[in-house]
Structure 1
Amino acid sequence: MLSAGGLVRSRVLRLRGPAAGLVRWAGPATVSVPEPRVRSVSGVGGASGAGGWYGSLSDSAPVHLCEHFLVGVQQVSGLPWWLSIAMATVSVRTLITLPLATYQLLILSKVEALQAEISELAKRLRYEVSVRARERGWTEKQSRVQFQKNLRRLVSQLYIRDNCHPFKASLVVWVQLPLWVSLSLALRNLSLDQSALRGELAAGGALWFPDLTVPDSTWILPVCLGLTNLVIVEVFSLQRVGASGFQRLVLNGIRGFSVLMIPIAATVPSSMALYWFCSSLVGFGQNLLLRSPTLHRILRLPTRRSDSPYRDLLSAFIAKYYK
């Protein structure tokens, strides 16, 4: 933590507007399909036989939009269905998820860079609250309320000043999760008996999963999915030094969900399991890409990053699991 004094005063004076006074004492895209080769995929969700909210979700507009997107990719590329699913996954993760993840990295870096300034403001604010508490005879609880209220106001003004409210960092989740669900249900609909394309998916597999409409009986895809998700979680956990009890609880919950996805993936059509595995694999690659020092220099991130992130990651992994 930086010391108070002239440096603290100079940083505080840079706040504009109401933040100049530390304390306010208030009182206590779709893909077009070539016309000659259009194949109907409408009505698949409605014929799924599922009722209630699940049936409505399977028959929703976003899911049908994803169906047409998948069919369009396969028709335009002319690739087998298994390779077309992989290609569609890479396209979505690259064109939609990667830019949002990059934006998330930029926001989080700005928030991290503000921590030193927030610490200085908190130190100065705590002193001023204690002085005013003695003058007005506040109790400890009243002093704590005044401190927390004014600190939240100052931190909010800092976020506005640097345009980096942490909520913006969650944008990638609000886009990626509905997209993942919609594409998963679209592949499920295309694999149903009522689908006009079921025959093509049944013959569109490869290697140990020749039929994309039935579950992978070898469990190779489900296990690969679970292992990839676990690696992603462990890489993320290596960034958390001195994690709190709640953070460790969340990480263990995600680990448990990653293991639970293995039997779930073994009960769904292979097309869905293939999409989930490809999505996790591309996501892992993008996480590694976002650690690149070159990318950080291009984005001009305000925080210092290691010049050898991959070596540091490998060293941290070895230190945690092999020593």
Structure 2
Amino acid sequence: MLFRLCGPWRPGMLGLRLRARLPAPPLWAAATVPALDPGGWYEMLASSAPVRAAEGALALAAAGLRGLLTLPLAAQQRRVLAKVENLQPEIKNIARRLNQEVAVCARQLGWSRKVTRLTYLKNMRRLVSELYVRDNCHPFKATVLVWIQLPMWIFMSVALRNLSTGAAHSDGFSVQEQLATGGVLWFPDLTASDSTWILPISVGVVNLLIVEVFALQRLGMSRFQVCVTYFVRAVSVLMVPIAATMPSSITFYWLCSSLMGLAQNLLLCSPRFRQLCRIPLTKSQSTTPYKDLFAAFYAKFISRK
């Protein structure tokens, strides 16, 4: 029999179909942080060691550091998701056989429909867990990128806020004075918001591109994935007016980080780079990913007009 109460069964293990990964969390993921009373949670965050350490980095350098830290984690995430995807044929086969065995036991032991269903789900969870252990691809490993990237983004944003408002000083001089004249092009003052809205709109556009790259690569998304995709699109648009109220140093960092995220996503589509990162081949992997992305983008947004 398949499960313990009807006898041991070890044909393999099952992994439920993973939700497709959304592009690593874009820069809009953190909300605008208002100034609070002294001693509040924001002041504690602003004076914390990670934020103080981040104050020593510039926005562009911080984006580069983000790439060095997150690219290996992003590759590991793709590796885990690829292994899970390759398990799906085995998963479907085991699910079918388990369902048959549960039905046999249900008839023999006179189980109700509720008991039959609960028994099936309990054994499926056990088999899924064993399958993940066997192939070393537990889905939680795919979330490590989020737990590293999001705090780093928050700490850097708060650190840049401190520098731009004069809350951070170094050896008696304020970095704010340098930021006030350290900008380029249309935003020479990094302590002021971008009155042209070029930086905020660019942040929104890049984040939307990240979402669309994710959506165009996946066919037949579940209802939940579709809802999440629309939610992320809405947040990307909402981040435009939020970024417009931020100092240009923060908005510029958000833009650099978003561009880095977009570049990482596109790079991880490359078959050669995936092979270099030892990401397993999958059935859904294209040999011409960039050509397919362009064709899908053209069909969705251009040919309809």
| Pairwise same-fold verdict (TM > 0.5) | yes
Unaligned runs of 5+ in 1: 1-11, 13-17, 24-46, 71-83
2:213 to 211, 235, 242: 235
Query: Aligned in 2, Cα 1:50/1:97: closer, same or farther, shift over 3 Å?
Result: farther
**Higher relative contact order (CA closer than 8 Å, sequence separation 6+):** 2
How far the C-alpha of 1:22 sits from its partner, in A, is 7.9
Contact 1:237 1:251 in 2 (8 A): yes
- How many corresponding residue pairs? 269
Of the structure 1 ranges 292-301 and 170-179, higher mean CA displacement relative to structure 2 is found in 292-301
For 1:47-196, list aligned pairs within 5 A: 51-68=39-56, 70=57, 84-90=58-64, 92-195=65-168, 196=174
| 8 A Cα contact 1:228 1:280, kept in partner | yes
CA contact (8 A) 2:211 2:232 kept: yes
Query: 1:241: Cα distance to partner?
Result: 1.6
1:20 deviates by: 1.8
Q: Which has the higher helix share?
A: 1
Please show how residues 192-231 of structure 1 align to structure 2 within 5 Å: 192-195=165-168, 196-231=174-209
Distance of aligned partners of 1:56 and 1:136 in 2 relative to their CA distance in 1, 3 Å threshold: same
Label 1:296 to 1:22 Cα distance change in 2 as closer, same or farther (>3 A): closer
TM-score (norm 2): 0.84
Q: Distance in 2 between matches of 1:22 and 1:191?
A: 57
**Cα deviation, residue 85, structure 1:** 2.4
| Kept in 2: contact 1:89–1:275 (CA 8 A) | yes
1:34-53 matched pairs, under 5 angstroms: 51-53=39-41
CA distance in 2, matches of 1:209, 1:49: 30
Change (3 A) 1:111 1:234: same
Per the TM alignment, residue 159 of structure 1 is displaced from its structure 2 partner at its CA by: 0.1
Bigger Rg, structure 1 or 2: 1
Q: CA RMSD in A?
A: 2.0
Identify which range, 178-187 or 243-252, moves more after superposition.
Answer: 243-252
What is the TM-score normalised by the length of structure 1? Answer: 0.79
Whole-Å separation in 1 of the counterparts to 2:153 and 2:11: 46
- Name the structure 1 match of 2:20: none
- The residue that corresponds to 2:238 in the other structure is 260
Classify 1:150/1:279 alpha carbon distance in 2 versus 1 (closer, same or farther; 3 Å).
Answer: same
Amino acid across the alignment from 2:205: L
Gaps of at least 5 residues in structure 2 are 3-7, 14-34, 169-173
SS at match of 1:217: coil
Distance 1:125 1:282, change over 3 A: same
SS of residue matched to 1:20: coil
Q: 1:251 aligns with which of 229, 234, 240?
A: 229
Give the partner amino acid of 1:303. T
Give a deviation string over 1:240-299, Cα, whole Å, max 9, x none.
322222222211111111011111111111000000000001110110000001022221
